[in-house]
Structure 1
């Protein structure tokens, strides 16, 4: 090793680091590395600027995944000619005055995006303000040209070409054109969700010309929920809109609005979870954990809820300046925010009652639809009325042949037919009147508009489970005191994190106390869990705290036991039920929240409309 190596030299003053002031070009390139990771990041910054400018319509064009061209056109207020040069200066913004960095009501506020984009690409801004002539400014690799006159009727057009041409090493980290285009689409759709009154158009102009529209969302009208529902239907599909319930809850200055899907409309991955704070799309572990906690009693661990939730509050209650891309936030009272989401969602899901998603019926009809490729017989191709009557008469059974009502099948048991005038009130109820039991497991009920098929075991299991939960909530969780407290050794940080939620754990029957230094003592455990490994449970709780910021591990284990008890105490598959029992089960399902899905998120019933059934048989 050389003698002057700083690792062995006793005279450290020889290699003392020198503090230097970076020039503006280097500062802008560093900022671009934090703010503009890929073309989608540039689109996000430019579209947010257009929204802040009060635009009612925004068009985004890109070529080659945004690598060679990004153009954002809006009809907002524009930038005056005298302000164009200033807009390209670092930390120049019209959105805050710097006196209160928490009083932020806009998407952008740092004044970094435009100079950063100009430092790594070829940026052109053309804009016109009412009462002024249009003007244009160009910046390439950090070099700014003078402002010049331009032709534009209104608004602003920002064009970014050859992104990262000034920092070619960054180009190697970009993905394929298709992947970058998908990221741009995701960014635009998220922003479109938060602004349903603004029209968005996304266009791929690779290869030149007008290109093709890959996404379009026209401005929505109506009140907040109508407009949001229409926008979500455009972006997430009609199925989501039809199977989502509106959310509107408030707590201590925070308001939660949006739509959350029914548990039976769950997804295999967390790809349909969209969270916003004061209209800003965020990816926050606290909010994601709260969403998961609200549904954990209704979904198995391999299923994920779908939701678009908006938290709004006074800007002073949340700090949005904690991440370079502003994708994370920090609440002043994180417990209030989490509690609002959990309680708001659970209350809305309870109000949904026994409702199950319509996609369940669609999947059922799809499974029942024949796979034959033979052409359908339409009404004009059927035999004449006289020919059909003759055919029916020829097929009529002999008088001594037992009628259909007297026939029995080993796989189904039909109940005596009840007079229509007595059944009418029950048929008008949501789950109708019981008509039969098939394979001693499925109840067939008739409604005014179709039929309902109920899984008797799954339905009754949910009813018993909800009853057990109510009893536990009323009487509390019984605790089992340990004869000898179990000592769990942890790190100082884990001990502090665990003691912060000690009261919540105690409410679930797990009582812990500090045991000095790096350990806690487990003194009581939930009695319903029996003998448990307290050390393993404590470590599982800590893992959840580190991952989600909160833990439902103890509650999940308790409710898993309740679920098993409910399973063993419910009507078993294969048990024959009397008509009054079947109708009583239907009525209890209608009166019990969450009865539309079993304890694992599967549907407890399927509703088929008469029109759908007739379509299966070609009676259209």
Structure 2
């Protein structure tokens, strides 16, 4: 069989197999071209989920008539001209393959007019066969019509899903774009009826958050903005109590481009590991900005993925930034209309990222929960770590004290306004976010009165988190101790694992594993982390090596250590039916306010809830 060149139409149809997966792919390519052209408004008209018609109209810079044939030629673009341009791409599109690929599998019309031109022009392409450029009345900007997608490729058309399914994919992509470009107005119609409009607003404003993800997310998210090592991470991460059953609200952007990255997804998962309930997924909208030369966007035909020059640095930066932000979610620090900013710094143990003064975390407005220090109702109050002693005497008087009048010493220790049994009234009272304890319910819950209403605390879950954080802090202060093995452990691994272990020997030693390679697929382990000496070191070491090979570093040892410390904290926490005095309950509340991540226990369950006076009034129909 002789070698022969492929026809141009067939070349474009083959390229369409990579670029045009479904109608949503067409919308993506055309809308990205509109935004690259400087459009501030884009109209998307669809029929039958995009299978019958996709019309994209924009008010961008437009195309001159003589360049319309070039626009639907392969590898013709105005966005790059040299290898240097390719290595520093700042536009959403750049390959010059989208229009010819789409035109080869549809009935395609391109019409445009420059702002300085007297009239517009149009060009029709039918299944890859190019017509002639003709004059056409057209407003400034560009209109692209794609009719009967895949009409000449029946094998591709039969793989398209139902109209509702294809429309859902288009709407999801437009939602992702709307989050990244709130300055661009998007108007969507389907089958002749307006379906959605994203109004333009300020860049990275919460207006677009509400339009795309709803008021629940906008009201229960944490604003993140951190800079360091030439990277900037900003956006919103949902509070742990706002978790999802799937990953449907996870949006990550690199220099404004929506991408999927396993390393970043792994970093986010690690950051939430201590506060998320099992089987649940975090929600977030995060923007990573870095020098375009440090990221390769030319690794996927549809530009869904990127490759970082230093993926380990990016992973570490995302993980530590989010971990620090989530550490500020103490119980009581997520009240309504919260706008307090909590100072954030790069963790002290980061070896990759230098300290940066430009970091900060702030709770978004409308968050569910308590009111932080410095907000109305808490003037002058600051959290402090107080000792929590829960040794309750067996004397009946100790149990009776819970429901009797407090002793004189306890009354004297209370704020003056609280000695009558009620928290200080008004916005000027110095009331802590979790208020003051008033009773214990069924030996499980602590009831406290705050400036806003009623606080209910799960005492076991709260004490478990407090003990867990203290154990971690104590262990971190001493560092990771390695315990030599009396008899070295011979471990059989794959050749790639052995190579990784040999190459990352220093990193393994910092985690407590001292080992040497004794053969193509064998290791000799001489020491393991002391705290995990009684665990199964072989399986742990294999997991650590796998992480080092895939992500460049591993959190397995820390995770195993934390799991052990969590078990210790659980066993040491106060149990149900344990009667506490008012002093002990108040000590627990103060410790919650001063402990990181105290809004959730070690297993991700909530530790407290607030019921405002307005909510309670509605229960009893007061004021109606």
TM-score range, shorter chain: 0.7 to 0.9
Q: Deviations over 1:553-573 (max 9, x none)?
A: 322111010000011112222
The aligned residue for residue 403 of structure 1 is none
- Distance (Å, rounded) in 2 between the aligned partners of 1:549 and 1:125: 47
**Secondary structure of 1:480's aligned partner:** strand
In structure 2, relative to structure 1, the CA distance for the partners of 1:493 and 1:465 (3 Å cut) is: same
Q: Retained in 2: the 8 A contact 1:288–1:548?
A: no
Task: Output aligned runs, 1:254-293, within 5 Å.
Answer: 254-293=231-270
The aligned residue for residue 586 of structure 1 is 589
**Secondary structure of 1:27's aligned partner:** helix
- Distance (Å, rounded) in 2 between the aligned partners of 1:519 and 1:268: 41
Deviation at 1:451, TM superposition (A): 1.2
The aligned residue for residue 401 of structure 1 is none
The aligned residue for residue 64 of structure 1 is 48
The aligned residue for residue 384 of structure 2 is none
The aligned residue for residue 252 of structure 1 is 229
**Secondary structure of 1:137's aligned partner:** strand
- Distance (Å, rounded) in 2 between the aligned partners of 1:421 and 1:70: 66
In structure 2, relative to structure 1, the CA distance for the partners of 1:499 and 1:36 (3 Å cut) is: farther
The aligned residue for residue 406 of structure 1 is none
What is the TM-score of this pair, normalised by structure 1?
A: 0.84
Is 1:84 the counterpart of 2:68 in the alignment?
yes
Q: Retained in 2: the 8 A contact 1:265–1:357?
A: no
- Distance (Å, rounded) in 2 between the aligned partners of 1:581 and 1:534: 41
Is 1:164 the counterpart of 2:150 in the alignment?
yes
Aligned partner (choices 566, 569, 590) of residue 569 of structure 2? 566
Q: Deviations over 1:250-272 (max 9, x none)?
A: 22211111111111211122221
Q: Deviations over 1:172-211 (max 9, x none)?
A: 2222211111111111111111101111122211xxxx32
In structure 2, relative to structure 1, the CA distance for the partners of 1:499 and 1:273 (3 Å cut) is: farther
Q: Deviations over 1:488-532 (max 9, x none)?
A: 222222333445555444433334433331222332222222423
Task: Output aligned runs, 1:181-200, within 5 Å.
Answer: 181-200=167-186
Aligned partner (choices 205, 213, 217) of residue 198 of structure 2? 217
Is 1:143 the counterpart of 2:162 in the alignment?
no
- Distance (Å, rounded) in 2 between the aligned partners of 1:556 and 1:296: 9
Q: Retained in 2: the 8 A contact 1:427–1:448?
A: no
The aligned residue for residue 480 of structure 1 is 483
Deviation at 1:167, TM superposition (A): 1.4
Q: CA RMSD in A?
A: 2.5
Gaps of 5+ in 2: 337-365, 370-398
**Secondary structure of 2:125's aligned partner:** strand
Is 1:349 the counterpart of 2:326 in the alignment?
yes
In structure 2, relative to structure 1, the CA distance for the partners of 1:156 and 1:332 (3 Å cut) is: same
- Distance (Å, rounded) in 2 between the aligned partners of 1:512 and 1:32: 51
Q: Retained in 2: the 8 A contact 1:250–1:340?
A: no
**Secondary structure of 2:583's aligned partner:** helix
In structure 2, relative to structure 1, the CA distance for the partners of 1:485 and 1:20 (3 Å cut) is: farther
Q: Larger deviation: 110-119 or 159-168?
A: 159-168
Q: Retained in 2: the 8 A contact 1:32–1:117?
A: yes
Q: Deviations over 1:264-292 (max 9, x none)?
A: 21112222111111110101111111111
The aligned residue for residue 116 of structure 2 is 131
More helix by share: 1
Aligned partner (choices 536, 540, 544) of residue 537 of structure 1? 540
Q: Retained in 2: the 8 A contact 1:356–1:603?
A: no
**Secondary structure of 2:303's aligned partner:** coil
Count of residues in Structure 1 that have an aligned counterpart in Structure 2: 550
Gaps of 5+ in 1: 1-16, 365-409
Task: Output aligned runs, 1:158-557, within 5 Å.
Answer: 158-205=144-191, 210-213=192-195, 215-221=196-202, 224-225=203-204, 227=205, 229-355=206-332, 414=403, 416=405, 420-422=417-419, 423-424=423-424, 428-499=431-502, 502-541=505-544, 551-557=554-560
In structure 2, relative to structure 1, the CA distance for the partners of 1:362 and 1:354 (3 Å cut) is: closer
In structure 2, relative to structure 1, the CA distance for the partners of 1:218 and 1:363 (3 Å cut) is: closer
- Distance (Å, rounded) in 2 between the aligned partners of 1:566 and 1:281: 41
